[in-house]
Amino acid sequence: MTFDFELVGKIGSMALIDREDGIIDYTRVARISRELRPGYIWISSGATEIGRLDFLQRTGRELTGESAKTDYAAQGQTILMQTYRQFIDPAYSVRQVLVEHHHFNDDKKSDHLKGLLLRCREQNAIPIVNYNDAVSSEENRRMELLALSKDKRRVFECVDNDETASRIACLVRARTLIIFTSVDGIYLNPDDASTLVKEIAGKDGYELTEHIEEYKKYCVGASRAGANGARAKLEYVKDAAAQGTTVYIANAKYTIAAVLSGDVPCTRIAIR
């Protein structure tokens, strides 16, 4: 298979926040940013929670109501992008790409997004992607997805950035997809670190997909309220893995280089 991009990576909100101090984990973002280069696409959650923490620190109170997430996301996006720009090599351009479900359910919009991402690679730029929560209404989104489901066999929601990362890996035919999370990977028993699944493999896409389905049976729970957990991660990455992309589910405390070299514990999903 020919790959258009070397790597698509994603980091979740929980891995970006220093819970003890209630701020963005600048050390972690700095470490990741210094590894990013053209040929990489980075999907970064965290804008909503970062915006919430920033608003709380500035006002001493939290927002309430249905629009709170929208307002937090708009505030957090500026901080998130500023932080990445601060630490990414100044020789590289940095471009914010905000996506919604439309971009993955409409062929023309998918092609437009793919063109943008391919130009980033050619123009020495690093795209930082996130779901556009600042302008996304949950009620409208669900109505739109319902309408799409009547005409299409399969619909992508992409509110969860694990799904967004996998769809982008499929869109640009990425060689590697890394899903950074707050644990080392997929476990047969999430309460027993010794049950870490180091590899899920298959001789081809069909067999690999079957094996992923088997391991989904062991996945229960999530790292936080509202998160979809390990089972959803395996579901989301199936298409990317089946097309030949090597997928890693790994702890965000490790470097990209360490994950790719196999020097740290993680779950690797690939066709043999």
- Predicted pLDDT of residue 225: 40
Question: What CATH number is given to the structural domain containing 101?
Answer: 3.40.1160.10
| CB neighbour class for 208 (10 Å; exposed up to 12, middle 13-18, buried from 19) | buried
Q: How far apart are CA 272 and CA 262, in angstroms?
A: 16
For the chain, what is the mean pLDDT?
91
Q: Helix or strand or coil: residue 138?
A: helix
87-98 average pLDDT score = 97
Structure confidence by residue, pLDDT tens digits, 21-72: 888 999 999 999 999 999 999 999 999 999 999 999 999 999 999 899 999 9
Range with the lowest mean pLDDT among 35-39, 115-119, 228-232, 250-254? 228-232
Q: How far apart are CA 144 and CA 140, in angstroms?
A: 6
Closest CA to 226 of 152, 159, 174: 159
- Tokens in use for 32? 């990741």
Structure confidence by residue, pLDDT tens digits, 111-130: 999 999 999 999 999 999 99
- Predicted pLDDT of residue 228: 52
Structure confidence by residue, pLDDT tens digits, 163-184: 999 999 999 999 999 999 999 9
Q: Which domain holds residue 121?
A: 5-271
CA atoms within 13 A on the CB side of 85: 10
Structure confidence by residue, pLDDT tens digits, 70-84: 999 999 999 999 999
Structure confidence by residue, pLDDT tens digits, 138-153: 666 666 656 667 776 6
Closest CA to 125 of 27, 5, 31, 45: 5
| Chain CA centroid to CA 153, Å | 24
Q: Helix or strand or coil: residue 148?
A: helix
191-216 average pLDDT score = 96
Quick check: 6 pLDDT over 50? yes
The total of structural domains in the chain comes to 1
Percent pLDDT > 90 in the chain is 75
